[in-house]
Amino acid sequence: MSAREGPPAVSFRLPLSARLLSLVGTIVIGLSSVLMVGFLVAALMIDQWLVGVAVAICAAIMLILTRYVGRDLQGKWELRVILRAESVELCLPRNRSLIHATPAQHVTVPYAEIAAIETRLEAYPTFGMVNLQQPYVLRRTTGEPLFLFEERAVGTGWQKPYFAGLIGDLAERAKAPIRDLGMSEGKGGVLGVMHTEEADWAAPALPRSRQIQLFQRAATTGALALLLATAAFMVRWAVAVLR
């Protein structure tokens, strides 16, 4: 490499395992939604109205979950970042955040136009539980923000730090600081799926006592989810053995 050449280009996508897991989840939940709608139609055709009401509620829940996991699939499958010698190419899909409203963007930003990369923890309480996310925002020299992507399930055993290395590499190439803005709090709505409200990016960081409280609740939420997943697996295994 000559002295005038920059570092080699690096292409980033989320791991194939993460994308395939999201795809399988979307297919399974989507098919379950179709099945529930079929049950609903059958119940109504035989005038089982009480059964139909119960099935309709289940079908509505499954359709909402299908939309949720479908958004997650789009955000994971279409996300691409290419670090070139003098600029970064960003292919940012619409649903790269499950809380923030993020339009699809395909832009190339010269490193010279990057003033900083900002990040923070965002807490979304819901029904006594807390979901912690860590979004990254690229701040240009003009002051214009560009929402990049987010780490999810922060502080739990489910967390996969997909973007930490990429952000470090980008900041190094752009010679820009990574600014930690602390923690903010939004509204988790119904289990983070409906009626959510994103945290204001300009809001000041929460007091440390509140941050510790939310972080502990997020860790408890993650442990509970892991326990339920393990229990479901054990029940399924026991049923298979008893057969």
Alpha helices for the chain (secondary structure H): 16-45, 49-77, 164-174, 208-242
Residue owning tokens 């055993």: 157
DSSP E strands in 128-170: the ranges are: 129-140, 145-151
Report pTM. 0.83
The DSSP 8-state label assigned to residue 57 in this structure reads H
CA distance 200 to 115: 20
Residue whose pair of structure tokens reads 């900041």 in the numeric block = 171
Q: Which residues pair with 139 in a beta bridge?
A: 116, 145
Residue type at position 20: L
pLDDT at 96: 92
Collect the ranges in the chain with pLDDT lower than 50. Answer: 1-3
What is the rounded distance in angstroms from the CA atom of residue 197 to the CA atom of residue 145?
Answer: 19
Tokens encoding 221 = 């939420």
Give per-residue pLDDT as tens, 190-218.
Answer: 877 778 888 888 889 999 999 999 989 88
Q: For residues 207-236, b (16+ Cβ closer than 10 Å) or e, as one string?
A: eeeebeebbebbbebbeeeeeeeeeeeeee
The Cα 240–Cα 243 span in angstroms is 5
pLDDT digits (tens, 9 = 90+) for 155-187: 888 888 899 999 999 999 999 999 999 999 998
Name the residue among 147, 18, 158 with its Cα closest to residue 76: 18
Whole-angstrom Cα distance, residue 71 to residue 26?
9
User: Hey, what are 154's tokens?
Assistant: 């922060």
- In whole angstroms, how far apart are CA 174 and each of 27, 35, 107, 170? 40, 51, 16, 6
Work out the end-to-end distance of the chain between its first and last CA atoms, rounded to an integer number of angstroms: 64
Tokens for 171, please give them: 């900041």
